[in-house]
Structure 1
Amino acid sequence: MKEARYAFGGDEHVFVEVDEEMSLEAFFKSLAITNAVRDSQIKGVTEICPANASFQIKFDPDVIKPDDMLAELKKLEAAAEKAEPRLQTRIIEVPVYYQDPWTHETLMRFRERHQDPNGTDLEYAARINGYGSVADFIAAHSGSPWFVSMVGFVAGLPFLYQMVERERQIQVPKYLRPRTDTPKLTVGYGGCFSCIYSVRGAGGYQMFGITPMPIFDPQQQLNYLSDFMVFFKPGDIVKFQPIDADAYSAAVEEVAADRYVPRIKEVTFALDAFNADIDGYNRKLEEALHAN
């Protein structure tokens, strides 16, 4: 991997591009450096924002000079190059009602903004990725886990990177023109990233389904969001689980009664072992998710 590219953003930010394209290697390097910034407790650092293959550091220039901040980051980059790409994280099951009526109604309202006005988002995605049917495409989308590579754009929205070989990754362009509406908790897709819309609003990602599992709670009233209003964090691993209409309705009732608890397991992710046997490693992750 090439040397990171550093750039100042005004007087209070340093932007660091780890690589020009997203990869797990770039993500791990970015996460290693940002974790090191956090652990080093550099005086003057006020915010750390990791992204897909880059990160940004906000600092107080009255406490640490910009050039000194840059020097600290370059030292941490050199250490990150030697660090073993291993991560203590969690794998999370996210139920998805694919082909639900709410995203279907929405996508049909905006067909004039889509590449295929005569089909649905799932039909388009299946066709351009070479799948014989929507069912086959859903099986591929839900069949492998996904890394949360960053959280943002709107509060609590995770960007998810598919954990398969690059040649097997799903790729679907965004709408030709963004929609003015997207249902809350829509599972979307744009480029090589899946996402979950944490709130209702405008959007340009293809819409595949909806999850009953809230991922953003500003009031922190839900049991699993009582500690922090945003559920996901970079480094989380997500496994989508297809559900039907009855299971979706049941989960919504559980959420309303504050009885819903996501299936989560703590795991150690080792990048080298993953790259050596991707499908085998993914099976082990799923076994860990469902272990008692």
Structure 2
Amino acid sequence: MENRYSFGGDEHIFVEVNEEMSLEAFFKSLSITSAVKEAEIKGVTEICPANASFQIKFDPDVIHPDDMLKELKSLEVAAEKAESRIATRIVEVPVFYQDPWTHETLMRFRERHQDPSATDIEYAARINGYDTVDKFIEAHSGAPWFVSMVGFVSGLPFLYQMVERARQIEVPKYLRPRTDTPRLTVGIGGCFGCIYSVRGAGGYQMFGITPMPIFDPNQEINYLSDFMVFFKPGDIVKWKPIGREEYDEAVAQVEANTFTPRTHDVTFDLGEFEKDIDGYNAKLMEGLYGN
């Protein structure tokens, strides 16, 4: 579809790149927002990329809304011709699946769930065609996930599974949102994974918890000292299943401020990825683990 532009009051332009989420739509959104940043258009105050759209905030006293619209449309043409390559990083995120804290929480809210007789991960495994929870965990953690946007709650990443669409895990959100979700819960709503950066309400299915903080407004955590939010759009996440002992060890390291996430810088090429998804993912993991 062609980009769909709409004004949000006097100081916002919202641009819908596609009605469906896809890596192609994300890359188009990222290319245009990057072009806006590089163009240094006078009056632009905020650039907010999302899953398959983006929003630009501007000062209408500096640039007229119609002129801002013209600037964006002119950048769209150039952005569409840009290569679908980005310099990014792979991040290993440890996950304690079926942990006691998310389990206690989900059991308090069974009346809001599609299947009150099952846990969130049991329900997700069943509706996605997996015979056991272990096989579901293998599918969830086996392939990397792309950070398509960060927001809604400060520091919360939205994650898109890097497999063929037919293999993507999809799970509906709770019938009614919970009033509580443990901090650093890992889960899925629709086709998007997430990590809850803070404790609060939520509707995503809960599968586990990570010991790795991803948001620190005080910037006291060693790897968040430069910026309070860990993830940025374009990051690639690889889940690492861990048990209770490894989880406790990681928590102790976080408390001692010695925990450091495993990361590896890469250049991601969408065209090469689409030629051989599983093969390309394997090469990405070689860089992360040094194989």
Q: What is the CA-CA distance between 1:225 and the residue it aligns to?
A: 0.2
**1:118-159 per-position Cα deviation (integer Å, ceiling 9, x unaligned):** 110000000000001000000000000000000011100000
Aligned equivalents of 2:63 and 2:91: distance in 1?
A: 39
- Give SS of 1:177's match: coil
Equivalence for 2:126 = 127
Structure 2 counterpart of 1:264, one-letter code? T
Equivalence for 1:255 = 254
Structure 2 counterpart of 1:136, one-letter code? K
How many percent of aligned residue pairs carry the same amino acid? Answer: 77
Q: What is the CA-CA distance between 1:25 and the residue it aligns to?
A: 0.2
Equivalence for 2:12 = 13
Alignment of 1:192-203 (within 5 A): 192-203=191-202
Aligned equivalents of 1:233 and 1:35: distance in 2?
A: 13
- Give SS of 1:79's match: helix
2:291 is aligned with 1:281: no
Q: What is the CA-CA distance between 1:81 and the residue it aligns to?
A: 1.0
- Give SS of 1:96's match: strand
Structure 2 counterpart of 1:20, one-letter code? E
Equivalence for 1:143 = 142
- Give SS of 1:265's match: strand
Aligned equivalents of 1:41 and 1:225: distance in 2?
A: 27
4+ long deviations beyond 6 Å:
none
**1:77-97 per-position Cα deviation (integer Å, ceiling 9, x unaligned):** 101111110000010000000
Equivalence for 1:40 = 39
- Give SS of 2:186's match: strand
2:114 is aligned with 1:115: yes
Aligned equivalents of 2:286 and 2:97: distance in 1?
A: 23
- Give SS of 1:274's match: helix
Aligned equivalents of 1:99 and 1:188: distance in 2?
A: 11
Equivalence for 1:64 = 63
Q: What is the CA-CA distance between 1:270 and the residue it aligns to?
A: 0.3
- TM-score normalised by the chain length of structure 2: 0.99
- Give SS of 1:102's match: helix
Aligned equivalents of 1:197 and 1:43: distance in 2?
A: 35
Q: What is the CA-CA distance between 1:208 and the residue it aligns to?
A: 0.2
Equivalence for 1:171 = 170
Q: What is the CA-CA distance between 1:290 and the residue it aligns to?
A: 1.0
Structure 1 counterpart of 2:226, one-letter code? D
**1:168-204 per-position Cα deviation (integer Å, ceiling 9, x unaligned):** 0000000000000000000011000000000000000
- Give SS of 1:148's match: strand
Equivalence for 2:72 = 73
Aligned equivalents of 1:49 and 1:138: distance in 2?
A: 32
Q: Unpaired runs of 5+ in structure 2?
A: none
Alignment of 1:14-29 (within 5 A): 14-29=13-28
**1:85-115 per-position Cα deviation (integer Å, ceiling 9, x unaligned):** 0000010000000000000000000000000
- Give SS of 2:199's match: coil
Structure 2 counterpart of 1:73, one-letter code? L
Equivalence for 2:215 = 216
Q: What is the CA-CA distance between 1:228 and the residue it aligns to?
A: 0.5
Equivalence for 2:3 = 4
Aligned equivalents of 2:236 and 2:74: distance in 1?
A: 29
